[in-house]
Structure 1
Amino acid sequence: MREDGRVKPIVHSAATDRLDAVTLYRILRLRVDVFVVEQDCPYPELDGRDLEPATRQFWCADDAGEPIATARLLRDDMPGGWEYRVGRLATAPSARGTGVTTGLMEAVLAEIGERPSVLDAQSHLTGMYQRFGYAIDGPEFIEDGIPHTPMRRG
């Protein structure tokens, strides 16, 4: 049990190439359900980055094994090395407000450790990411018709 009285969710993680086909399909379906269908934003969800060797998928599932929250952790190459990029954080409508997203982000941040990381937050969610130590790192921009804000931690 967490300090706020909520049950701490069980978070799973694996490199994409270690996932079985059913689990990967369910993760991708959740992302499409949230980003493409719910947010009415047709965009290329399958961008090729899930197949990069360093990519890790994080997810929480309900009792039936259906993912209810997911996030993707990438490594972005940059001059002098690399940094982590958090993305594709999606939570099923039925799981919002339950603490599952907090548990998911805590697991992602445990993987990141002290390394720097970046993300492009949907602008209305910057406050949520600030609670995890992210700070706004540039001007707002529009991506696929949705305002986003670049953020950095570490």
Structure 2
Amino acid sequence: MKVLVAGFDELPPRTAYDVWRLRQQVFVVEQDCPYPDLDGRDLEDATRHVVLLDDEQTVVGTLRVLDDGGWARIGRVVVAPSARGRGLAAVMMVEAMVLCGDREVRLDAQTGLTAFYEGYGFVVTGPEFDEDGVMHVPMARPATL
């Protein structure tokens, strides 16, 4: 496995295509959540894409780290169905936490994944909410000084 960390303009075109295809495959098709995935945030200069590639350079996981002013936001965390159950989300989260550094980090976790994110220091910060038909909770990891 290889972890690629890149801004939008640094992503090889085929890799970028595969990232958006994976997000569509899982979020829109598998989870039946038609939503505007291409929201413009992938293009922001400060956005970093964490992409997990297998030995054949196939995208098997991805997430993005956004700069939301005083804090970072992790989102679009996804692992290909064929690659699940191997700890690959953890590999990407470790890289994401390094990118976030000491800043406060926020995310909206699918409700069933709160324990996973708690392992990285996140705590639930608000009530459960429905986002595009999937229940989520807001979570944050406080800034470390």
TM-score by length of 1: 0.89
Contact 2:2 2:55 in 1 (8 A): no
Confirm or deny that 1:110 pairs with 2:98: yes
Residues 9-30 of structure 1: CA deviation (Å, up to 9, x unaligned): 4311001121121111111111
Residues 88-114 of structure 1: CA deviation (Å, up to 9, x unaligned): 000011111111111110011011121
What is the match of residue 30 of structure 1? 22
Letter in 1 for 2:19: I
Residues 51-94 of structure 1: CA deviation (Å, up to 9, x unaligned): 111001001112221110100000113xxxx2100000000111
What is the match of residue 123 of structure 1? 111
SS at match of 1:139: coil
- CA–CA distance in 2 between the matches of 1:127 and 1:10? 26
**Correspondence 1:10-89 to 2 at 5 A:** 10-77=2-69, 82-89=70-77
- CA–CA distance in 1 between the matches of 2:140 and 2:36? 24
Instruction: Give the number of aligned pairs.
Output: 142
What is the match of residue 3 of structure 1? none
- CA–CA distance in 2 between the matches of 1:93 and 1:21? 22
- CA–CA distance in 1 between the matches of 2:29 and 2:75? 18
Stretches of structure 2 that go unaligned for 5 or more consecutive residues are none
User: Which of 99, 121, 124 is 1:133 aligned to?
Assistant: 121
Residue identity (%): 48
What is the match of residue 100 of structure 1? 88
Letter in 2 for 1:149: V
The runs of at least 4 consecutive aligned structure 1 residues that moved more than 4 Å come to none
